[in-house]
Amino acid sequence: MDTLTSHTLHLIKNCPVCKAKFGEGQISVVEKDEEGKATVLLSCQNCQSALLARVVEMPFGILGTASLTDIQASEVKKFAAGGKVTFDDVLDLYGK
């Protein structure tokens, strides 16, 4: 498990919907920049909820915010690969 994944699991331990515990295999790193800012998607195996989180790696751990979304990892990666759509754009599209 890489540092980002383990830190994200430390920050977001459970699904906010059904309280199921998140595991390593349920985290997809959508994008990560050289400053340690990253966008990750957590998918709950139990209730199929998806949680989109924006996290920043710090020397002492990780800070972040997360919101429930109905977006799928493949869709986020498609946007990330395009390079022109920002995280906020994705939220605008799918956060309603």
Binding site for Zn ion (CB under 5 A): 15, 17-18, 20, 44, 46-47, 49
Nearer of residues 46 and 86 to Zn ion, judged by Cβ: 46
Helix (H, G, I), strand (E, B) or coil at 82: helix
Q: How far is the CB of 70 from Zn ion (least distance, A)?
A: 13
CB of 32 to Zn ion, least distance (A): 24
Give the residue with the Cβ less far from Zn ion, 20 or 66: 20
H or E segment and range at residue 33: none
Kindly tell me which of 44 and 55 has the beta carbon lying closer to Zn ion: 44
**Minimum CB distance to Zn ion, residue 49 (Å):** 5
Q: Do residues 58 and 36 lie in contact, with contact meaning Cβ atoms separated by under 8 Å?
A: yes
Contact 50, 70 (CB under 8 A): yes
Q: How far is the CB of 17 from Zn ion (least distance, A)?
A: 4
Query: Closest CB to Zn ion among 8 and 79?
Result: 8
CA 24, chain centre distance (Å):
12
Residue 63, CA atoms < 13 Å, CB-side half-sphere? 5
